[in-house]
Amino acid sequence: MYRHSRLRSRIAQSLHRICATLPVLLLSALLAPAVHAQSSAPLQCGLYEYDGGKGQMQVLSSNLIRKSALNGPELLYFKIENGKLGFYNLDLGLDDEYKLAPDGKSIDVGFEQVYVLKTPAPCAAPTELPQTKVWPLCWKAGLMDCLNAYNETSVKELESMCASGLPFVCKKLPDAWREAGGLEPGEDGQPAPLGEAAHKTLQAACLKGISASTCTLAAEEAWTAGRYLDARPMLQHACAAPIASADACTLADSLAPLTAEALAQAAPAQLPQGTFKRPIGTLRELVFAADGSVKGDGSMTMKARQEGGLVKMQHNQGGDYVFKPLGDRLLLGVDYWNRLALFVRAA
């Protein structure tokens, strides 16, 4: 009898504890959807800034961001899961993730850098990427799987993916074209010029896309092929909205003196003299002395020589900087390190 009484007492105590905790459980159940909804708030479109505008991100649509970077704006294709913004850098071909605030108005990229929404804007339509065997590997698998997949991809498929708006694929095309065509580098190590069809492919990808890197690539390959006047329109396109690359604007402006008339000018019989400058690039100033010595940026000193109408200067990597004089005012860069370079003599 005592055992039954004690059992009833324990059951009563258990029921009491359950009843006492039931309101808490119910409250938690009611609050859970609200918390989940808050954590899954979509990223708002518009301009995000870090540290007073030192860094900028433009959320263009529900899956595309344009982020300012050292070498020009980069496109990030993203998706949001569990409060994290996973993305694939379409210009570099790399993946990573950022932390997203529950309200969708700030993005933590790490290193104590938080981008905060400053100017909301309407969202454009989501970007649709090509459904090929390579893209899912790059997005869902690791970098090595992605690279291995590219090694097995045909040139035609790479061309299709580039045309579909994948800048990092466009960057692979010049090497793929040269390998497929058996185009070997020149004696000076310069890449072989590409053919007409290749230039048209890159130019079309630039003009119909929103990637500054694709336009720069199209300009660089035109320059390598000696199609100097074809380079500036690509940079002007990257300068204009919606790409709006500041570096592309500076480059385009620096090439304004390069005209058909300028290209037709004969090279002077003597070495250049005076100071020649350009506003952007690794090498920005060349000071030619009467004895043929040349001072570059910083403490670099070189010796100029003339060969076949070109001015050459050996740099510290063992190769040569090579320039084509256009009259006595302009020096056109024709080596790898001086693609898209036009030096103008200072007054």
Return the CATH fold of 265-345.
Answer: Lipocalin (2.40.128)
Q: Output Rg (C-alpha) for the chain, integer angstroms.
A: 29
pLDDT value, residue 41: 62
pLDDT, position 13: 44
Q: Residue 286 and residue 25: Cα distance in Å, rounded? A: 75
DSSP type of residue 336:
G
Q: Looking at the DSSP assignment, which residues form a beta bridge with residue 343? A: 331
What is the per-residue pLDDT for 147?
77
DSSP letter for 27, please.
H
Query: Which position has the token pair 């690509």?
Result: 234
> Which H or E element spans position 106?
strand 106-110
Domain-wise residue ranges, the chain? 46-120, 133-256, 265-345
Q: What's the confidence (pLDDT) of residue 10?
A: 41
Q: Give phi and psi for 318, each to the nearest 5.
A: 95, -20
Write down the pLDDT at residue 345.
Answer: 97
B/e letters for 261-299, b = 16+ CB within 10 Å, e = fewer, are: ebeeeebeeebbeeebebeebebeebbbeeebebebeee
Q: Tokens 């190590």 belong to which residue?
A: 189
Q: Cα separations (Å) of 324 from 31, 83, 228?
A: 72, 55, 12
pTM of the model: 0.82
What residues have CB less than 8 Å from 153, skipping those under 6 apart?
A: 132, 133, 134
- What are 56's strand-pairing partners? 49
Print burial letters for 24-39: b (CB count within 10 Å at least 16), e (below 16).
eeeeeeeeeeeeeeee
Question: pLDDT in tens for each of the 347 residues of the chain?
Answer: 433 333 344 434 443 443 333 333 322 332 333 333 334 468 899 999 998 888 999 999 999 999 998 878 999 999 998 889 999 999 998 889 999 998 889 999 999 899 999 999 999 999 887 777 777 777 776 677 877 887 788 999 899 889 988 899 999 999 999 999 999 998 778 899 999 999 999 999 999 999 999 999 999 999 999 999 999 999 999 999 888 899 999 999 999 999 999 999 999 999 999 999 999 998 999 999 999 999 998 778 999 999 999 999 998 777 899 999 999 999 999 999 999 999 999 97
